[in-house]
Structure 1
């Protein structure tokens, strides 16, 4: 029997990943907290984490880390795929390399990490993979199309992978938070941006920035990272968790509205937020 269960958390240098790593450590997991921010990794290391530099899109590095965990600690019991980043802007102007990077991080990376840990989980007939998605994987709105597209991809990945792994005793769960209040997100939204006069989307972008910032200041719209981390722990402890969960009252309300409204009505509502004032 393993002396201590092992968790591997990506995106652990901030936000949901960092909060989840702390929650898992408090429950006596040996936590491999990985990310790309050197100073944040140093801080995690000083707090007793197995903090490692890892780019989730680097296939050889992922394989090397999981091989090390398998050899030294008997394998990964909990994988939390939390690495990610936002990407906003009209789809016509999205740089394709940025879109590829988004897909590599939000879709290919989680699958790659899952493929790396799954042989051990299947052999032990136990384990859980938690993918941190977004309510943005269940609806779309103008101005963040690339992000929505990648999160829709993670939804499909999670649901298909879950069905395939059920016979092996491995659980896959998708957690879809509403907007999450983190230092990174707040800094991005509060940043003053200027747009060229000849940019055909200039006015649209200004209205998008204003609407997004206003939403963050509306009570009840966003949740903090630890709220999501507590939900991750609830899922990890559950004997038979559901395929996916929404975290945050505003997320539940948005998904319900999107379900009840026609596509044309939903379109009008999303565009109304961006109407000139």
Structure 2
């Protein structure tokens, strides 16, 4: 059983059941990958605290028996309060799945600094803050698993989504450094790198700025980027389902000796290999073949 019925968006502590099951905190769990992970962990007998900001989706999670909480991961005070609640009621977070994230597409020349800060705050800073918040408890128990949902976009860069790639490269560095630092405390850090995922998240990548081909020097480029991204998001061979990513996450959590990183999706694996084999000039030429109006 999970939290059961919802009393309000800030449920009282004593409405949470005492549980001896592993406790998993999953961010960005109201849709897509996060929702699939939360449901799979629940089916694997975890006590799941699923967080997000869509109240209707949170209600649906509660109806399935999950503890669902409204949480803005960039609100560090709210994060600290939630983890304190979990520590008090359940004895701590055993598994943290950092899934919450934002997409963003724009030529870097036109990327507003406010948008860049928002992307970095959500995709990188909030992730590190969540890690810092659960780590004292994990260190004291000398056990715990942190799963960071990154992207193959942290291994290579495509034009048109530079700000997003900057954030995902940050997730790579965060995960690699943290893994080495906390291993001696019995805490495992696992990085999941999906290729394109067939969710509504892909739609958020289709352009952050209006496309005006008349006055916009990047107008044609952005139009082609939006078309190609929409096409790829619907192509089974170059994208994966949210549930496939969730299966890999659960397998990694349950592994006795998980790998440091898991690339999910054949197209993602092929792209990572190609990026290693091609020169920078060759890589750029391949990417710009359909994007560049003069190519």
Q: TM-score, normalised by structure 1?
A: 0.95
Q: Unpaired runs of 5+ in structure 1?
A: none
**Aligned partners of 2:196 and 2:202 also within 8 Å:** no
Please show how residues 1-277 of structure 1 align to structure 2 within 5 Å: 3-186=20-203, 189=206, 194-195=211-212, 197-276=214-293
Write the deviation string for residues 246-267 of structure 1: whole angstroms up to 9, x where unpaired. Answer: 0000000000000000111101
**Aligned partners of 1:190 and 1:213 also within 8 Å:** no
Write the deviation string for residues 8-31 of structure 1: whole angstroms up to 9, x where unpaired. Answer: 000000111000000000011111
Mapped partners of 1:187, 1:169: distance in 2: 37
1:137–1:184: structure 2 CA closer, same or farther, 3 Å change rule?
A: closer
Mapped partners of 2:91, 2:142: distance in 1: 13
SS of the residue corresponding to residue 4 of structure 1 reads: coil
**Aligned partners of 2:206 and 2:230 also within 8 Å:** yes
Q: Unpaired runs of 5+ in structure 2?
A: 1-18
Q: TM-score, normalised by structure 2?
A: 0.90
Write the deviation string for residues 107-150 of structure 1: whole angstroms up to 9, x where unpaired. Answer: 11111011111111111111100000000000001000000000
Aligned length: 276
Runs of 4+, deviation exceeding 4 Å:
186-191
Mapped partners of 1:207, 1:140: distance in 2: 17
1:259–1:188: structure 2 CA closer, same or farther, 3 Å change rule?
A: closer
SS of the residue corresponding to residue 197 of structure 1 reads: coil
